[in-house]
Structure 1
Amino acid sequence: MLRLLTNKFLLIASLSIFSLTFSFAQEGHEGHHEAKAEAAHDEEHFDIGQMIMHHISDSHEWEFAHGAVIPLPVILYTKEYGLEVFSSNRFKEGNGVYNGYINLHEHIHRLSPDGKIDEAVHVLDFSITKNVASLLLSAIILIVLMSTVAKSFQTNRGKAPKGVQSFIEPIIFFIRDEVVKPNIGPKYAKYLPYLLTLFFFILINNLLGLLPGGANVTGNIAITMTLAVITFIITHINANKHYWLHLVKPEGVPVLMLPLMWVVEIAGVFMKPMSLMIRLFANMTAGHIIILSLLGLIFIFQSWAVGGVITIFTLFMNAIELLVAFLQAFIFTLLSSMYIGSAIEEHHEADHGH
């Protein structure tokens, strides 16, 4: 069942990427025949870096493909003008300006009467951006998916799992038995709901980001920072006295070396969440940049031969990114379990390496 679902997913992803690259190549090819001079002008001024940044960055609208855009609600608050809510499509109609606000590279500012940015007005942006909308979508998927699995588990208690339960249940048991239990120990049950939620939340957002038009949620450092901070807080709220004593006075360290060890230990405390934050952000962003760079070559060369080769390489990279999506969710959960386990383990367990 797992192999069948995986094959179906890979087939759908492959067809999506192939159709996307084919349409890009076809659009460039037709434009070349219809207006050769104009196509040459576009090729000369095509900025692949700007295209990549546009697709991996957050936005006040959700663009699935060229011309297929869903406007999102813009929610702004200023002390001088209060709360204002309108559609992001208003900015497009006004060439980036609407109702005294200007959208400069997805940063909204208030304009003064002379048309310049009013630095005295601080704009608080609570808009539902592309990343926020994708987060809400992933939350809905996670709630529906896990509710379905829980209901199926209750219905089929003592029987073989069926449907989506047969796909999700082995993953849940794997995370529990191979990741959480060995690293946290007997008190694992208290932290299992958080760690399972963490794993599936990262996994679902990683997979959504691989779909054409998907948002780069886990490639946003603010999102990965929030997840890392949550792990940091849970770790240190539940840390026992042995953990804190080890930070203050590590065993076997001479008294004269303690000030140096304090610096090392404190740095280590904050390096752990930073490693979680940067690892997930860098890996997911790098994968998106590589795929978009390959697709950008279609616009640069405007060749059927190049388009065919790029399609093959893009499919290969998408297969690698599919593996990375699972791997990064696993690594983030594994390291979070290790950090929590090291903070709550008893003194004799730490001494014997349990």
Structure 2
Amino acid sequence: MKKIIICLSTLFVFLFTAEVFAAEEGKEEGRFNPKEAIFSHLGDEYGWSIVLPHGKLLEIPLPVILHGQRGWSVFSSSRLREGKAYEGFYIASSGKYAGKIVGEKNGEEYRPLDVSVTKNVLALFITAVVVMFVLFPLKRWYRRNPLLAPRRGLGVVEMIIDMVYGEVIVPVLGGEAKRFAPYLLTLFFFILFSNWLGMIVVFPGGANVMGNISVTLVLAVCTFVVVNVSGTKKYWKETVWPDVPGWLKFPLPILPLIEIFGVFTKPIALMIRLFANMMAGHLITLVLIALIFVFGALGAAATAGSTVIAVLFAVFMNVIDFLICFIQAYVFMMLSTIFISLARVGSKSAS
């Protein structure tokens, strides 16, 4: 298993190196810009680029859906390549809207309502399909063979589910484990497969989904809704009017304010924790690979030395990042389980 991870990590590093080199080769100036190369890979895009032999890039256009001054506009992102404008819209190259589709109104740039299918959006759909492709066969297996344990790939999936359900969900939620297990297991596998697909630099991977704070915000909001909608009367009583000495609640509601503030800081902590850890993993690998091109200007010896060192460290970081992807999905799910358990205080079915 370790050899497979190392081989895959090495392949991903070299594929990313080829992608960066191909992207830089097409620039007129011919100078490598580390900041631009790194953040272009970390950010979202309106198309999906695939590296081909001889440094060529194949771009998969995605649907652009906008609502501007003239109403709705739907067209392919290929219309906006190389700084071209279409129906009054173009991709801003600089300023506060850099990399986003903008229009012009009274001589100034403005952002239309943008619900386009971007690289990250498509990656979310791909991840959802992968999750269903992995989990639904296990469901069908037990429907047909309720007394027979699955083998091979399905056996690995069952082992992961049993670990998460048996060691986290059941001990924390007790009798209510079955009620919340579908949400928690879906959350775990969605984050896990999204992180793993993000490590693959070729289609359908390579999208930095969990490194996008908007995505982690939505996941945190989902947990926030589940926690507070399922909260018991005792949970809300302890939040709004906790059982503490009166001088902590009146005339200044010090503790109630702290408790209410904590209701919102929990999902914020979930959001930032997942975003920061996944962004850092991608960023470290990108910086290590970028060093090859930075030292390339110093000559052949410097290029060879920096390439060996950078690739070795990048492979090592990819192996670590492979484990971090699992750990971050596990931690997000575990904290969500704990928050739900705290909200179900006083419930008869909870242990």
C-alpha distance in 2 between matches for 1:26 and 1:262? 57
Counterpart for residue 72 of structure 1: 62
- 1:301-340 correspondence runs (5 A): 301-302=295-296, 303-340=303-340
Residue 126 of structure 1: how far off its partner (Å)? 1.1
Whether the 8 Å CA contact 1:24–1:298 is kept in 2: the answer is no
2:342 corresponding residue in structure 1? 342
Q: CA, structure 1 residues 281+92, in 2 after alignment: closer, same or farther (shift >3 Å)?
A: same
Q: Which residue of 2 aligns with 1:54?
A: 40
Instruction: Give the counterpart letter for 1:318 in structure 2.
Output: N
Match of 1:150 in 2: 139
Cα deviation digits, residues 18-65 of structure 1 (max 9, x gap): 35447868999xx8xxxxxx99x744xx32122111111111111234
Check 1:347–1:196 CA distance in 2 against 1; reply closer, same or farther (3 A cut): closer
Paired letter, 1:55: H
| CA distance in structure 2 between the partners assigned to 1:260 and 1:282 by the alignment | 31
Q: Specify the SS of the correspondent of 2:236.
A: helix
Are residues 201 and 124 of structure 1, via their aligned partners in 2, closer, same or farther at CA, if it must alter by over 3 Å?
Answer: same
For residue 104 of structure 2, the aligned residue among 96, 99, 111 is: 111
Q: Deviations over 1:266-296 (max 9, x none)?
A: 1111110000000000000011111100111
Give, as a single letter, the amino acid of the residue that structure 1 aligns with 2:284: I
Question: Partners in 2 of 1:14 and 1:341 — Cα distance?
Answer: 42
What TM-score, normalized to structure 2?
0.86
CA contact (8 A) 2:12 2:199 kept: no
Assess if the C-alpha contact under 8 Å between 2:232 and 2:347 holds in 1.
no
Contact 1:149 1:164 in 2 (8 A): no
User: In 2 relative to 1, CA 272–26 (structure 1 residues): closer, same or farther, beyond 3 Å?
Assistant: closer
Equivalents in 1 of 2:247, 2:314: separation in Å?
57
Distance in 2 between residues matched to 1:22 and 1:138, nearest whole Å: 25
How far residue 216 of structure 1 moved from its aligned partner, in angstroms, is 0.5
Runs of 4+ in 1 over 3 A off after TM superposition: 6-10, 18-28, 116-119, 347-350
Equivalent pair of 2:123/2:207 in contact (CA under 8 Å): yes
2:317 and 2:232 mapped to 1: Cα distance?
A: 44
State which of 71, 81, 87 in structure 2 corresponds to 1:82.
Answer: 71
Q: Residue 229 of structure 1 corresponds to which residue in structure 2?
A: 221
Tell me how far apart the structure 2 counterparts of residues 73 and 233 of structure 1 sit (CA, whole Å): 31
Q: Does 1:261 align with 2:247?
A: no
Describe the SS at the equivalent of 1:287.
helix
User: Could you tell me how far 1:141 is from its partner in structure 2?
Assistant: 0.9
* 1:217-248 Cα deviation digits (max 9, x unpaired): 01111110101111111111111111011112
Distance 2:329 2:3 in 1: 20
Q: Distance in 1 between matches of 2:91 and 2:19?
A: 30
What amino acid maps onto 1:103 in structure 2? I
Flag the 1:26–1:304 CA change in 2: closer, same or farther, 3 A.
farther
Matched, 1:130 2:107: no
Number of residue pairs the alignment of both structures matches: 329
Matched residue type, 2:173:
I
How many Å separate the matches in 2 of 1:220 and 1:97? 27
The TM-score with structure 1 as length reference comes to: 0.86
Question: Which letter maps to 2:136?
Answer: S
* Match 1:212 to one of 198, 201, 222: 201
* Aligned residue among 247, 250, 253 for 2:242: 250
Q: How do residues 83-102 of structure 1 correspond to structure 2 at under 5 angstroms?
A: 83-93=72-82, 95-102=83-90
Q: CA deviation at 1:187?
A: 1.0
Measure, in 2, the Cα distance between the counterparts of 1:106 and 1:22.
23
1:153 positional shift: 2.8
Q: 1:118 to 1:315 in 2, by over 3 A?
A: closer
Whole-Å separation in 2 of the counterparts to 1:23 and 1:11: 18
Match of 2:101, SS? Answer: strand
Gap regions ≥5 residues in structure 1: 32-37
Aligned-CA RMSD value: 2.6
What letter matches 1:263 in structure 2?
L
